[in-house]
Amino acid sequence: MRIDLEKTLTGKISDVHALKQQVQQWQAEGKKVVFTNGVFDLLHIGHITYLAKAAELGDKLIIGLNADSSVKRIKGEGRPVNDQSSRAALLAALFFVDAVVVFEEDTPLNLISTVLPDYLVKGADYAVENIVGAKEVIANGGEVKTINFVEGYSSTSIINKIRSQTT
Per-residue pLDDT of the chain (167 residues; tens, 9 = 90+): 555 556 666 789 999 999 999 999 999 999 999 999 999 998 999 999 999 999 999 999 999 999 999 999 999 988 999 999 999 999 999 999 999 999 999 999 999 999 999 999 999 888 899 999 999 999 999 999 999 987 776 766 777 777 778 76
**Could you tell me the pTM of the whole model?**
0.90
Q: What is the pLDDT of residues 122-132, one digit of tens each?
A: 998 888 999 99
Name the percent of the chain in helix, strand, coil, to the closest 5. Answer: 45, 20, 35
Highest CATH level, class, for 10-147: alpha beta
* 7-11, long-range: CB < 8 A, 24+ apart: 8/92, 8/93, 9/89, 9/92, 9/93, 10/92
- Residue 50's CB: how many other CB atoms inside 10 A? 22
* CA–CA dist 53, 46 (Å, integer): 11
pLDDT of residue 21: 97
- The H or E element that residue 61 is part of is strand 60-66
